[in-house]
A = this chain, B = another copy of it.
Amino acid sequence: MSSKFFAVVAGAGPGTGRACAIRFAKSYPVVLLTRKPESYQDTVAEINNSGGKAIGISADTSDVKSLNAAFEKIAKELPGSKLAAAIYNVGAGFQRKPFLELSAEDFDVAVGGNARGLFNFAQKTLPLLLESVSDSEHPPTLLITGATASVRGSYMFSTMAASMFARRALGQSLAREFGPKGVHVAHAIIDGVIDIPRTSHYNVNNGVEDSKLRADAIAESYWNLHTQHRSAFTQEVDMRPYVEKW
């Protein structure tokens, strides 16, 4: 593995983000961005201890300054390395609440992390991805994690749906603008519960085996999106457990 290209994962806590970091670390040095160091530390150590290269940086994608500082740090830590893949996996402001119990701040937190954070992250990474078009092995890629709330405004999920619909819209618009320039922008609708420690007690689908999404399975599909040929880019894909009702 050379360090000519690297990957960056925003929202690299347990689940999809961690699994993507591990998967993409098979081919690239990876940078993990999370708000708190404790969210990336274990994964960074695991990757570095098993022969890969990982860097963790604390950053809040909803804050332009924080994100700017993170990318300055990346430039120092990986001098001359170019961006091959950027993954936006931040999940913010999860709430399941009656609408009239929500505050405007609840709305702002959800939109800030889930949509404006992607806006900021895309503004930082797309110029870097464009620079990689000419010489990267695979088309440089911006991968965006979506959810059920990306395509369905469910009862009691108003702020989640608003922010995730917005995120999906950004992905579509960016795909139409940057695809023709050689950058692959794809959006994945993760429609189910991911199997992580926090969800271990969730009783989904009567506890049937594999009824929660395995994060490494999601990450494998993300890798497959990254390696698609530019003549056949996927813009949107869904993923859900085989037993999921939908």
Chain A interface residues toward B at CB < 8 A: 64, 98-100, 102, 104, 107-108, 111, 115-116, 119-120, 122-123, 126-127, 139, 149, 152-159, 161-180, 182, 184, 195, 210-214, 216-218, 220-221, 224, 228-244, 246
Contact = CB atoms under 8 A, between A and B. Distances in A.
A182 B236 contact: no
Contact of A166 (B163, B184, B218, B232): B163
A232 B246 contact: no
A108 to B, nearest CB: 7
Given A153-B175, A162-B167, 19 more contacts: A64-B104, A99-B177, A104-B120, A104-B123, A153-B168, A154-B172, A155-B176, A158-B170, A158-B177, A179-B243, A182-B242, A210-B230, A213-B232, A220-B228, A221-B234, A230-B242, A232-B240, A233-B239, A235-B240
Contacts of A176: 153-155, 246
B233 A242 contact: yes
Contacts of A229: 210, 214, 216-217, 220
15 contacts: A104-B120, A108-B116, A115-B162, A119-B158, A153-B172, A158-B169, A161-B169, A162-B169, A162-B170, A210-B231, A211-B231, A214-B231, A214-B232, A216-B229, A236-B237
A157 B173 contact: yes
Contacts of A158: 119, 169-170, 173-174, 177
Contact of A177 (B116, B119, B155, B175): B155
Contact of A111 (B111, B180, B184, B217): B111
A23 to B, nearest CB: 13
Contacts of A152: 172
A116 B127 contact: no
Given A99-B123, A161-B169, A228 B217 contact: yes
A195 B242 contact: no
